[in-house]
Amino acid sequence: MNLLGLITGGAPVGTNSRKVPRLGVIPRYAIDESEMRWFEVPGFNMMHAINAWEEDNGDTIVVTAPNILSIEHFLKRLDLVHATIEQVKIDLKTGKVSRNLMSKRNLELACINRTYIGKKNKYIYAAIADPLPKAKGVVKLDVSMLEIDQQPDCIVATRIFGPKLFL
């Protein structure tokens, strides 16, 4: 937090490229935050999660989220930001973290069917940034395509808006 930056018209928060991004996991029945475990995820700049669930009887945490590739521009030049959607798996027994790219396209504002929050879901719906904060269409991604053949692009449907149509 940079209060001076906020007062002088700068950004109230910033980035530190010398630090490795981390994800924190709190056990479901934790008594307090002291039970949180941190996992380093180099190059993964998550601003918010789309969904997360457990696999392997709770030994694996799966998170789907946008990865802000150009994080240094996020607060000042939103038009230069590029966000891909990734799936991150954390093996709680070994501490191993793996990442799978779901799409290289510039996607943001993703959502799922609310009845699947905290459960494994099949589809993610996201806006196609053109550039942020504008959107030129929407896509539907199939999460299960990662399990089948490690597809580099899980998009199964796209709708591009026509002239004078806005999201």
- How far the first Cα of the chain sits from its last, in Å, is 32
Binding residues for Fe cation: 48
pLDDT above 90 for 132: no
What local confidence, expressed as pLDDT, does residue 13 receive?
Answer: 63
Binding residues: 48
Note whether 15 and 47 are within 8 A (CB): no
Give 13 or 35, the one with higher predicted confidence: 35
Q: Which two tokens stand for residue 7?
A: 């007062």
**Per-chain mean pLDDT for the chain:** 87
Q: Give tens-digit pLDDT for 77-114.
A: 667 778 899 999 999 999 999 999 999 999 989 999 99
The DSSP code for 135 is E
Q: What is the DSSP string of 68-119?
A: ETTGGGTTT-GGG--EEEEEEEEETTT--EEEEEEE-S-EEEEE--GGGTTS
